[in-house]
Amino acid sequence: MVTEGGRFLLEKRSKFAIQGDARVISCDQSNNIMVLGLSNGVFQVYNADTLESVHSFQISESKIDSVTINAEGDWVALGSRELG
């Protein structure tokens, strides 16, 4: 998005599908990396520019409530309330 006179303009809109009945619970983006935390314990890493899947991994059966990426995009932190 680009600001023009204090307003945001949408440059591009893309859609992508998540397999199964999982829902996106949390999301973060840094540089050109986007990470999604899903309701089924899966986290997915995407190229934010192309929405191409880079990595997908299931860490538990519990939903991922929190996702964050450091500024350089080197580290991802995941949190789940159910797991403590």
28-72 tens-digit pLDDT: 998 889 999 999 999 999 998 888 899 999 988 899 999 999 988
The structural domain count of the chain equals 1
- CB-CB neighbours of 36 under 10 Å: 22
**Maximum CA pair distance of the chain?**
46
CA dihedral 47, 12, 29, 65 (to 10 degrees): -100
Parallel, antiparallel, or unpaired: how do β-strands 76-79 and 66-69 relate? antiparallel
Q: What is the domain extent for residue 28?
A: 21-68
- Structural domain includes residue 13: no
pTM above the 0.85 mark? no
50 domain residue, yes or no: yes
Instruction: With a cut of 70, say whether residue 3 has pLDDT above it.
Output: no
Q: Is residue 80 part of a domain?
A: no
What kind and span of H or E run contains 27?
Answer: strand 24-30
Q: What's the pLDDT score for residue 54?
A: 92
Euclidean distance between CA atoms 83 and 38, whole angstroms: 15
Task: Determine, yes or no, domain membership for 75.
Answer: no
Task: Decide if 40 is inside a domain.
Answer: yes
What integer is the mean pLDDT of 3-14? Answer: 72
1 lies in some domain: no
Whether 38 maps to a domain, the answer reads: yes
Q: Reduce the DSSP state of residue 84 to 3 states and report it.
A: coil
